[in-house]
Amino acid sequence: MTENAWTRWPSPEALGRVGLSQPRRLLSWVVRVLVAGGLLWGAVSSRRIPLWGQVVAAVGVLVVAAAAWAFFRTTLAHRLLPSLAFIAVLMGMAVAAEATGFKVPALVIWCGCAVGALERMPLTAAAPVTAVSLTAYSLVNDDKLLTTIVTSIGLALAGYVLRLDAEARGNAQRLLAQERAAHAAEAESAALAERARIAREIHDVLAHSLSAQLVHLEAARLLIERGADREQILERVVAARGMARDGLAETRQALSALRGDLTPLEDFLSELVGVSGGAEVTISGERRPLPAEASQAVRRVAQEALTNVRKHAPGAKVRVRLDYGEHQVMLDVRDSGGKPGELAAAGGGYGLLGMRERAELLGGSLEAGPHEEGFAVTLKVPV
């Protein structure tokens, strides 16, 4: 047994009553009541002492009960010196009871001190207390020597077994508390992750849509200030309205994604390139449903990549390839290059940085850069 095992206290969970079953609590109280009743009866039932002596003996029983309660409280608080003081009071009361002829109460107190010390105190302090208590018990007890030795060993084992049982119960309580704390932390982490996911979805949709609308509305304002003709102004307003309509549709789609109500990925890509025009979609591998986060990442990256093509290379041919691998899904968007369009300065939604962040959050990767003809964006997400 290590030094720590000899010097450490039983845990507060072990010394407390939390985790005790109702039958065990009831049994504990029954034992206490029987012991207290036996001590009180032994103090007042003797006819060899006068009434005032019986009153003094009854008061002694109450002192023993109070000292035992205080011993339980101080050991629960891990206070060594007060615990030793109260158990010394109990042993002193046992000596006084033996000296005044109350032999049975004295034996009960010594046995209780031996068992209680082993159960509730550090072993370095409990061992001497138990040794003194059992020695006093053996000297006073009238039983045969072998019976007294067996009884003393049984009391010591009972105290140590109670200690081990209390420690096991305390460990179970600590593990339960840690499990509850872990579940609470996991739930909080999941809530924070969901909030971050919602924030990303809102940012991805609204930042892209509103920035494009702002460009068109600012252009309309400048045209009005310069006295441009009605057709030019109307063209900008109509473009801003189209952006608002597209943004509303994307917002509804994002809300559907948050609810887990997603259209098939292949259908989404077909609709997306249909709106963009000049793009072709190729799908390879065994088609299967993807996790919501992975599916949404593919959708957002495809959407942003095609938006960047419209801004920076309008009219360029675009090839979109979706490959279902065994352990990952890959999206590859390539354009044939072109001249920057009028929306090139509008800002790119959340851009390459946002696409890479979305991929890395899922344990994937994103590569973006020029190739032989134009620009290529390749997303790989594990599934």
How is the chain split into domains, by residue range?
3-142, 265-383
pLDDT in tens, 197-213: 667 666 666 766 777 77
Least trusted range by pLDDT, from 167-176, 216-225, 234-243, 271-280: 271-280
Between 319 and 352, name the one with better pLDDT. Answer: 319
Q: Are 138 and 152 in contact (CB under 8 A)?
A: yes
Burial 147-184 (b: 16+ CB within 10 A, else e): ebeebbeebbeebbebbeebbebbeebeeeeeeeeeee
Residues with Cβ within 8 Å of 271's Cβ and at least 6 positions away in sequence, in order, are none
Q: How far apart are CA 154 and CA 149, in angstroms?
A: 9
CB atoms within 10 A of CB 82: 14
Whether 47 has a pLDDT exceeding 70, the answer reads no
What integer pLDDT is reported at residue 116 of this predicted model?
87
* CA count, 13 A, side-chain hemisphere, 10: 29
CA dist 69 → 13, 74, 76, 109, 133 (Å): 18, 9, 11, 13, 18
Confidence band of 344 (pLDDT split at 50, 70, 90): very low
What integer pLDDT is reported at residue 43 of this predicted model?
52
What is the SS3 assignment for 330? strand
Whether 379 has a pLDDT exceeding 90, the answer reads yes
CATH 3.40.50.300 for the 265-383 domain, yes or no: no
Between 76 and 202, name the one with better pLDDT. Answer: 76
What is the per-residue DSSP string for 14-41? HHS-TT--HHHHHHHHHHHHHHHHHHHH
What integer pLDDT is reported at residue 345 of this predicted model?
43
